[in-house]
Amino acid sequence: MMNLQGRRAARGTILAAVVVGVACDSSESRPLIDGGALAIQSRTPIDVASLGPQVGERVPEFSLPDQHGETRTLESVLGPNGALLLFHRSADW
């Protein structure tokens, strides 16, 4: 979270430097050419903890084939006390 705020603060400084036209601190300066600044402005910092369903929220429904070709839905994988739902990168590498 601190990191996120730090990044936002750094970006705010760059924007201010462009508007007022003063040189900003070298540690925070970026080349502001060829629309580079715009691209940087539009980038959303990644915060994995804020992505996807949060505690208390219901996850989306799904319907996907398993390794035996059998279709599984959220409903069908829930046990009497719920489920552990793991997202992993790949079984292949």
Partner 1 sequence: MELQDRLEDLEAQGLGVVAISYDSEEVLADFSQRGGITFPLLSDDDSRVITEFGILNTVAAEGRGPNAEDPEVVADVAKYVSLFGASEMIVGTPYPGTFMLDRTGRVTSRFFEEFYRERNTTANVMLKLGVGLSPIAAIEGSTAHLKLTAYPSNPSVTVGTRFSIAVEIEPNANMHVYAPGAEAMGYRVVSLNLTPTPHVRFEPVEFPESEIYHFEPLDERVPVYQSPFLLLQEAVVAATPETEEALAELDALTLSGSFDYQACDDEICFPPVSLPLSFTLSLDLLDRQRANR
**Residue 30 falls in which region: left (phi positive, over 0), alpha (psi -120 to 50) or beta:** beta
How far apart are CB 4 and partner 1 at their closest, in Å? 11
Q: Are 11 and 19 in contact (CB under 8 A)?
A: no
Q: 18 or 64: whose CB is closer to partner 1? A: 64
Contacts of 3 (CB under 8 A, 6+ apart): none
Q: 21 or 56: whose CB is closer to partner 1? A: 56
How far apart are CB 22 and partner 1 at their closest, in Å? 22
How far apart are CB 12 and partner 1 at their closest, in Å? 15
The closest of 87, 78, 7 to 47, measured between CA atoms, is 7
Binding residues vs partner 1 (CB under 8 A)? 7, 30, 36, 39-40, 43, 45-46, 48-49, 51-60, 62, 64-70, 72, 74-75, 77-93
